Amino acid sequence: MDEFKVTPWDVEGVVDYAKLIEEFGTSPLTDELIEKTAELTKSELPIYFRRRFFFSHRDYDKVLADYESGKGFFLYTGRGPSGPMHIGHIIPFFATKWLQEKFGVNLYIQITDDEKFLFKEKLTFDDTKKWAYDNILDIIAVGFDPDKTFIFQDSEFTKIYEMAIPIAKKINYSMARAVFGFTEQSKIGMIFYPAIQAAPTFFERKRCLIPAAIDQDPYWRLQRDFAESLGYYKTAAIHSKFVPGLMGLEGKMSASKPETAIYLTDDPEEAGKKIWKYALTGGRATAKEQREKGGEPEKCVVFKWLEIFFEEDDKKLMERYQACKNGELLCGQCKRYLIEKVQNFLKEHQRKRKEAEKKVEKFKYTGEL
Ligand code: SF4
């Protein structure tokens, strides 16, 4: 099947990422840019870049040039707090942490409790604020530098309103409707919201780089339409692919289908059972057939999760691929391997999450650097 759909609200089908680059008008993250990143940071690249989990960009070449010339840049990303975070949500934060650490730049993290309240019919304002605190713990647990990382929650960080006003004057209704799909029934708060979301791209008079999944790109196209008229840079972005849910490579891991996701607060034992029961593999109908024909790692979620995040070692990943193809490996063995990796990750994350409770204040952005 090559039919797929990617919008900020919905991802369906098996995404053809090369086609998506054409459709969205972004640029591929080339070997040259990846090598330049390694050269400038004097570092070995993490798997997100080595294995092209990040695959597309806007103006990343300019970000690297600004860094090289000494102008610098800053990072901005965010989280809409409408529920618990899962593994698919947190992986881009690990990539962001790597960028922050290696380039030594400031990072702003916007927690859009206002957005979630306005856009999710059933969510109360109290609920979204509760999730904001909960999600902030997961984000801090990633290990960001507290001196260079500034987390703010829109409903608390009221200074953002002042910054959003000149932006709101630059966006007309049809521009916003084209991106957000507003209708007659849309609430007026929703229509103003794009100005709030664009404001952090102007926090510093440097180029802003947004690392995010590619479905978020349409939001930033809007910013790029008016940024220069306000005397700022068009924001740059690097785009990741999607982390698939346990039950198939179509779409992305979704909080609305809990059995397909591993939440960061899942009990490690339960998470293991979920993977064992639901993870789709590229295995054959019987062990005998698998030994004869080999498995299909290209169709396998277990392999995909190892490739995206859980198998750091390139050599081991390739050996697993070959062993699967040659019929030397059975899916049960592979699932057990992944389960152990996921459980270790969850235990460590949950330990750090607990420690994060004492660090929340340190990360709070007040508008002062
Ligand atoms: Fe996937 Fe492993 Fe089964 Fe191959 S053996 S299809 S990689 S789970």
Q: Which residue's CA is the closest to the ligand 1 atom numbered 6?
A: 282
Rounded Cα–Cα distance for residues 274 and 279 (Å): 8
Domain termination site, one of 246, 278, 297: 246
Domain of residue 341, CATH code: 1.10.240.10
Ligand 1 neighbour 302 (Cβ under 6 A): yes
Q: Are 166 and 265 members of one domain?
A: no
What's the whole-number mean pLDDT along residues 85-95? Answer: 95
Rounded Cα–Cα distance for residues 282 and 304 (Å): 10
Q: Of 92-96, 229-233, 259-263, 293-297, give the lowest mean pLDDT range.
A: 259-263
Would you say residue 253 lies in a domain?
no
Compute, in angstroms, the gap from residue 294 CA to the centroid of ligand 1: 9
- pLDDT of 130 higher than 90: yes
What's the whole-number mean pLDDT along residues 233-238? Answer: 98
Q: 247, 249, 281: which to mutate for ligand 1, most atoms within 8 A of CB?
A: 281
Would you say residue 369 lies in a domain?
no
- pLDDT of 2 higher than 60: no
Question: Domain range holding 273?
Answer: 258-354
For residues 103 and 146, the answer to whether their CB atoms sit within 8 Å is: no
Ligand 1 neighbour 297 (Cβ under 6 A): yes
Would you say residue 91 lies in a domain?
yes
Ligand 1 neighbour 324 (Cβ under 6 A): yes
Compute, in angstroms, the gap from residue 354 CA to the centroid of ligand 1: 34
Rounded Cα–Cα distance for residues 211 and 341 (Å): 25
Ligand 1 neighbour 329 (Cβ under 6 A): yes
pLDDT at 239: 97
Q: Are 128 and 274 members of one domain?
A: no
Q: 284, 331, 340: which to mutate for ligand 1, most atoms within 8 A of CB?
A: 331
What's the whole-number mean pLDDT along residues 319-343? Answer: 97
Q: What secondary structure letter does DSSP report for 233?
A: P
pLDDT in tens, 178-209: 888 889 999 999 999 999 999 999 999 999 99
> Which residue is it, tokens 């100005």?
195
Domain of residue 23, CATH code: 3.40.50.620
pLDDT at 58: 98
Q: Are 262 and 221 members of one domain?
A: no
Q: Are 38 and 178 members of one domain?
A: yes
pLDDT above 90 covers a percentage of the chain that reads 85
Q: 275, 280, 329, 335: which to mutate for ligand 1, most atoms within 8 A of CB?
A: 329
CA 283 to ligand 1: nearest atom: 6
* Residue 1's pLDDT band (cuts 50, 70, 90): very low
What's the whole-number mean pLDDT along residues 169-184? Answer: 89
Higher pLDDT, 216 or 346: 346
pLDDT above 70 covers a percentage of the chain that reads 99
Strand partners, 151: 109, 364
Q: Are 282 and 151 members of one domain?
A: no
Q: Are 161 and 69 members of one domain?
A: yes
- pLDDT of 27 higher than 90: yes
| Continuous H helices in 25-124 | 31-41, 47-50, 60-69, 87-103, 113-119
The token duo for 14 is: 């098996």
Q: Are 211 and 287 members of one domain?
A: no
Q: 300, 305, 335, 339: which to mutate for ligand 1, most atoms within 8 A of CB?
A: 300
Q: Are 242 and 271 members of one domain?
A: no
pLDDT at 280: 95
Question: Any residues with CB less than 8 A from the CB of 167 and at least 6 apart, and which?
Answer: 195, 198, 199, 202, 226, 230
ipTM over 0.85: yes
- pLDDT of 8 higher than 80: no
CA 306 to ligand 1: nearest atom: 7
Q: Are 106 and 164 members of one domain?
A: yes
Would you say residue 363 lies in a domain?
no
Compute, in angstroms, the gap from residue 349 CA to the centroid of ligand 1: 26
Higher pLDDT, 258 or 296: 296
The token duo for 24 is: 């969205």
Ligand 1 neighbour 294 (Cβ under 6 A): no
Q: Find the distance separating the first CA and the last CA of the chain, reported in whole Å.
A: 50
Q: Are 295 and 162 members of one domain?
A: no
Would you say residue 251 lies in a domain?
no
Ligand 1 neighbour 282 (Cβ under 6 A): yes
Per the confidence metrics, is the pTM higher than 0.80? Answer: yes
CA 296 to ligand 1: nearest atom: 6
